[in-house]
Amino acid sequence: MTDYEAVIGLETHIQLNTTTKIFCACKADSWNDPPNTNICPVCTGLPGVLPVLNEAVVEKGIILAAAMHADIQKVSFFDRKNYFYPDLPKGYQISQYDRPLARGGFLELPVPASADGPAYIRHVAIHKLHMEEDAGKTKNEDGRRLIDFNRCGVPLVEMVTGPDLRSADEAAQYLIRLRQLLRWLGISEADMEKGHLRCDANVSIRPRGADYLNPKTEIKNVNSIVAVREAIQVEIERQIRETEAGRRIEAWTLEWDEDAGVLRKMRSKETEADYRYFREPDLLPIKLDEAWLEALLATMPELPLERRVRFMQQYGLPEYDADILTTERSLSEYFEEAVRSYGGDPKRVSNWLMNDVLRMINEKGIAANELNLTPDYLAEIIKLVDSGIVNTNTGKSLLDKVEQTGFAPGEIVQKEGLAKVSDASAIEAVAAEVLAESPDQVASYKSGKTTIIGWFVGQVMKKSRGKADPQTAHKILEELLSK
Ligand SMILES: [Zn+2]
Phi, psi of 209 (to 5 degrees): 90, -10
- Residue 22 Cα, ligand 1 centroid: separation in angstroms? 9
Ligand 1 geometric centre to CA of 150 (Å): 8
Tell me, in angstroms, the distance from the centre of ligand 1 to residue 149's CA.
Answer: 9
User: SS3 for 91?
Assistant: coil
SS3 38: coil
Give 50 Cα–ligand 1 centroid separation in angstroms.
11
- The dihedral formed by the CA atoms of 364, 365, 369 and 370, expressed in degrees to the nearest 10: -50
If you measure from the C-alpha of residue 43 to the centroid of ligand 1, how many angstroms do you get, rounded to a whole number? 4
Output the CA 37–ligand 1 centroid distance in Å: 10
Q: How far is the CA of 40 from the centre of ligand 1 (A)?
A: 4
Residue-wise pLDDT for 148-198, tens only, equals 999 999 999 999 999 999 999 999 999 999 999 999 999 999 998 888 999
pTM > 0.85: yes or no: no
Tell me the CA–centroid distance for residue 154 and ligand 1, in Å.
9
In the predicted model, what is the mean pLDDT of residues 442-462? 87
The Å distance, Cα 36 to ligand 1 centre, comes to: 10
Rounded Cα distance, 261 and 264, in Å: 10
Collapsing DSSP to helix, strand or coil, 114 comes out as strand
Distance, CA of 432 to chain centre = 54
Q: Is the pLDDT of residue 454 over 90?
A: no
How far apart are the CA of 51 and the centre of ligand 1, in A? 9
Residue 50, pLDDT above cutoff 90: yes
- Hey, what amino acid is at 372? N
CA gap 344, 480 in Å, rounded:
39
Dihedral of the alpha carbons of 62, 63, 69, 74, in degrees to the nearest 10? 20
pLDDT band at 474 (very low <50, low <70, confident <90, very high): confident
Residues in the chain: 483
Between vectors from CA 177 to CA 174 and to CA 180, what angle results, nearest 5°?
150
Q: Give residue 383's Cα distance to chain centre.
A: 32
Q: How far is the CA of 129 from the centre of ligand 1 (A)?
A: 24
In angstroms and rounded to an integer, the radius of gyration of the C-alpha atoms of the chain is 30
Q: What is the pLDDT of residue 421?
A: 65
CB 134 within 8 A of CB 152: yes
Tally of CB atoms within 10 A around 147: 15
Q: What is the pLDDT of residues 252-273, one digit of tens each?
A: 899 998 888 899 988 765 676 7
- Report the chain's mean pLDDT, rounded to a whole number: 91
CA of 79 to the centre of ligand 1 (A): 19
Q: 38 CA distance to ligand 1 centroid (A)?
A: 7
Q: What is the pLDDT of residue 482?
A: 83
| Percent of the chain clearing pLDDT 90 (strictly above) | 68
Q: What separation in Å is there between the alpha carbon of 90 and the centre of ligand 1?
A: 12
Question: Could you read off the pLDDT of 359-380 as tens digits, one per residue?
Answer: 999 888 888 999 999 999 999 9
Closest CA to 358 of 330, 392, 386, 316: 330
